[in-house]
């Protein structure tokens, strides 16, 4: 199977700089749909599903290849080489932020800029480092997921999304979590929540933007600031948005911060007649 079919790759547009959007745990490429209109006029957009998510080829997933985030990192590099595009702007949400960091280390010539949305290089506290969770917290979270995938999804997704006054957002994330194959979800959750990529951050060599939300239960503000301080020359922006998924809860504000970082000007006026 081709790389593009394996990762359910969608390319929008045929001119302009390339921006590649990578989704987080339990999500798929559809999670970027509200941000696409803010870039479609002057960027070529690459969307894809991590193997094991969305409409990717589940037959291509194996616990050995994806035992660490490096498996997904290889996939990103393979997609860009197959498309023969680069250097690109890589926008990674949540766990895909660290996949982007690793991809830049693996093939820096393929990337012009890195945008990290709600990143966390390590979720577990370690000495003076505060990742937001103790070891027992993570084991309890993973144990709940192991024993009851649907119950975990229904309980955790609204907390991760935040914005309780907009329950439709939490419902969308819940449905996305529930669609994920339970065995793959359990495996990827353990890989994600036990990873430690702190040592990779100082090796990032492209201009980097760290986007942080307020009241993020997965990646607290202190973690975002840690990432910013560890990546040489990076820029930090605290969005006026809450929760862990500003691509859904605050897409225009998120897009505006990215466009400003890229020197692309304000978000273009959207056609009110568009569906």
The SS3 call for residue 11 is strand
Cα gap 132→233, rounded to integer Å: 25
Q: Is the pLDDT of residue 34 over 50?
A: yes
Q: Name the pTM for this structure.
A: 0.96
What topology is assigned to 3-262 in CATH? Rossmann fold (3.40.50)
Render pLDDT for 73-84 as a digit per residue (tens, 0 to 9): 999 999 999 999
Closest CA to 142 of 152, 151, 157, 150: 152
The SS3 call for residue 260 is helix
User: What does the pLDDT read at residue 269?
Assistant: 77
Residue 68 CB coordination number (10 Å) = 13
Closest CA to 62 of 166, 210, 183: 183
Instruction: Tell me the CA distances in angstroms from 139 to 167, 220, 267, one per residue in order.
Output: 28, 19, 42
Which residues form the catalytic set? 94, 216, 244
Contacts (Cβ under 8 Å, ≥6 apart) of 64: none
Render pLDDT for 85-100 as a digit per residue (tens, 0 to 9): 889 999 999 999 999 9
Domain boundaries, the chain: 3-262
Q: Is the pLDDT of residue 40 over 50?
A: yes
């Amino acid at each position: 199977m081709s790389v593009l079919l394996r990762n359910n790759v969608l390319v929008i547009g045929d001119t302009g700089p390339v921006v590649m959007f990578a989704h987080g745990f339990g999500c798929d490429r559809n999670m970027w749909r509200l941000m696409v209109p803010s870039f479609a006029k002057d960027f070529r957009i690459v969307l894809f599903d991590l193997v094991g998510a969305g409409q990717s080829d589940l037959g291509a997933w194996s616990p050995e290849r994806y035992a660490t985030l490096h498996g997904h990192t290889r996939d990103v590099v393979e997609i860009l080489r197959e498309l023969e595009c680069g250097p690109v702007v890589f926008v990674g949400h949540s766990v895909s932020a660290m996949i982007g960091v690793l991809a830049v280390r693996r093939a820096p010539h393929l990337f012009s800029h890195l945008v990290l949305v709600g990143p966390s290089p390590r979720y577990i506290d370690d000495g003076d480092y505060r990742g937001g969770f103790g070891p027992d917290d993570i084991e309890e979270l993973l144990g709940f997921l192991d024993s009851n995938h649907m119950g975990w999804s229904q309980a955790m997704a609204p907390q991760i999304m935040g914005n309780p006054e907009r329950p439709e957002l939490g419902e969308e994330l819940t449905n996305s979590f529930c669609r994920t194959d339970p065995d793959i979800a359990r495996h990827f959750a353990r890989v994600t929540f036990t990873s430690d990529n702190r040592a990779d951050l100082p090796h990032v060599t492209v201009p980097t933007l760290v986007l942080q939300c307020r009241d993020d239960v997965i990646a607290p503000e202190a973690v975002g600031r840690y990432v910013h301080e560890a990546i040489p020359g990076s820029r930090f922006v605290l969005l006026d948005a809450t929760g862990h998924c500003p691509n859904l809860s605050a897409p225009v504000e998120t897009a505006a911060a990215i466009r400003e970082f890229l020197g692309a000007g304000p978000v273009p006026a959207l056609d009110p007649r568009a569906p």
